[in-house]
């Protein structure tokens, strides 16, 4: 399961061009991860990084917003907002800095 998670994130973050056109579908899978194992996403480090899997999801959302802006496609940005919403709904005990980062991301997209 975690190898699949890593593959999804890495493919988009490294600009491999494989999944960027299907972000909505990829984000459905990530939302399922958030529904099923939110605490593990918060605590597990992302392979090869010094940040958690949840922090890597935030980085992916930022990347999505950048891609949407480059394409001039607001709908693509909505997929990132949906993923932010899933984080807020499913992950308990987020610290105020993390929530502040989410709010900043949302405000920047408005």
Q: Domain count of the chain?
A: 1
Spatial neighbors of 68 by CB under 8 A, at least 6 apart, are 74, 75, 76, 77, 80
Structure tokens at 18: 């494989």
Residue 22 pLDDT > 70: yes
- Contact yes or no for 40/34 (Cβ under 8 A): no
The 10s digit of each residue's pLDDT in 30-88 is 999 999 999 999 999 998 888 999 999 999 999 889 888 888 888 888 888 999 999 99
Tokens coding 8: 């999804």
Give the domain extent around 78: 2-109
pLDDT for the residue numbered 19 = 65
- Angle subtended at Cα 79 by Cα 75 and Cα 80, rounded to the nearest 5 degrees: 115
Question: Model's pTM, two decimal places?
Answer: 0.85
- The H-assigned helical ranges of the chain are 2-13, 23-36, 38-43, 53-71, 74-90, 96-109
């Amino acid at each position: 399961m975690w190898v699949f998670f890593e593959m999804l994130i890495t493919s988009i973050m490294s600009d491999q061009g494989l999944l960027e056109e299907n972000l909505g579908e990829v984000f459905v899978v990530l939302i399922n991860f958030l529904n099923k194992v939110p605490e593990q996403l918060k605590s597990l480090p992302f392979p090869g990084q010094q940040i958690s899997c949840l922090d890597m999801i935030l980085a992916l959302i930022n990347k999505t917003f950048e891609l949407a802006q480059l394409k001039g496609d607001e709908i693509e940005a909505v997929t990132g907002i949906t993923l932010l919403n899933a984080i807020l709904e499913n992950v308990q005990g987020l610290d105020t800095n993390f929530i502040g980062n989410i709010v900043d991301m949302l405000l920047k997209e408005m």
